[in-house]
Amino acid sequence: MSKDRNKSTELFKRAQLSIPGGVNSPVRAFKSVGGTPVFMQTAKGAYMYDADGNEYIDYINSWGPMILGHAYGPVVKAIQDKVQYATSFGAPTELEIEMAELIKSMVPNIDLVRMVSSGTEACMSALRLARGYTGKNKFIKFEGCYHGHADAFLVKAGSGVATFNIQTIPGITAGVSMDTLTAPFNDVEAVEQLVAANKDEIAAIIIEPVAGNMGCIPPAPGYLEGLRAICDAEGIVLIFDEVMTGFRLAAGGAQELTGVYADLVTYGKVIGGGMPVGAFGGRREIMEQIAPLGNVYQAGTLSGNPIAMISGYTTLKTLKDNPAIYDRLRATTTTLRDGLDNVLRSAGVPYTINMAGSMISVHFSEKPVTNFTDAVSANNNLFSEYFHFMLNEGIYLPPSAYESWFISDAISAEDLEKTINATHKFFNK
């Protein structure tokens, strides 16, 4: 069935007159899947409602942070209570301390944490800190991993960059590119070769421990352990970009899930409970290099904003006090995976489904998808057709084959059944 989205079409035309491309983040433009983006108006629980009043089961959940569902009651009330006192101080508050203490209590290898306003800011600050701590300039990132839009990270990035097929980024200098070394995801030998070829020049290795920007791609057995061993042997700072996975895959994030601990960790998404929040933290001797303790400068006028802090604090406290949420999320995601697996197998279409905790993605591929090259070689035109069919069925998937799906605790068994049945309908139409 086709949904009436006339108002979204009108809004998109209007938006393009005053916003570049009509959107404030590129993937929202639907360039990868084609068509007109849907303009949302309200959301509650597992559902979003567009400007035309259509309902959608939400599988992006604001790209991860709405782990408890949209407009979660305790978070909404906490924001309402806090906002009457001030929207910003530009001065320290007790709530910032409580937030840092809560994060430390959930992630055992973090000694100090600095709040910022976005995941991009967290990653660029962590990299600067690693460089300041080691006195080295080069770093290794992985093809298809996205760490925000800071200059150094846009070399062979995934997600939006892959969606738009942008291989070289205007505005990024040759010097920046020369300091950025790239390796395939899930390939320890490639990292060993880069380290050997750039002996004593590498400050950091930064990685999404579970990739989410080329679809969901978990680490191969022993892969993260191999990176940890290389960093220990070579004096390299290991940075886990947990902007997506932090507090989503487990209370302690991907570190808890994999048992591998980084020197620095970056956060975003869930840590803000829907507000623009990021953070980076890690070992004391590294974090003490940040100003005002050290000479590595980082600052932000709205860092520790009280409204953002109370939203994030309430979300994290809910997750910490209710560990069964993670069990439910894994069970829900497993049910979805198994249902989709049955449908796709019976349809005879080449596919692979990747899952980690409450992250999942479907790749229409004839082989396992373990890195960016595999993700690119999948039948992404079929994904685009599937996306639009599901959209018309009232199911909102990520508008790109290079994005992970995110499951919320608000989704019901009936929602999963509708999603699985709609998938069956698509492949049997």
36: nearest Cα among 58, 10, 56 = 10
CA atoms within 13 Å, Cβ hemisphere of 43 = 25
Whether 269 is catalytic is yes
Q: Which residues, in sequence order, are CB contacts of 104 under 8 Å at separation 6+?
A: 110, 111, 113, 281
Q: Encode burial over 187-221: b for 16+ CB neighbours within 10 A, e otherwise.
A: bbebbbebbeebeeebbbbbbbbbbbbbbbbbbee
Beta strands 47-50 and 55-58 are antiparallel
Whether 179 is catalytic is no
CB 425 within 8 A of CB 394: no
3-state secondary structure of 51: coil
Q: Looking at 50, 82, 269, 386, which residue is catalytic?
A: 269
Q: Looking at 133, 136, 141, 241, which residue is catalytic?
A: 241
Q: Looking at 47, 56, 59, 146, which residue is catalytic?
A: 146
Q: What is the CA radius of gyration of the chain?
A: 21
Task: Report the C-alpha gap between 85 and 362 in whole angstroms.
Answer: 45
Q: Encode burial over 40-71: b for 16+ CB neighbours within 10 A, e otherwise.
A: beebebbbbebbbebebbbbbbbbbbbbbbbe
Whether 146 is catalytic is yes
Length of the chain: 429
Catalytic residue numbers read 146, 241, 269
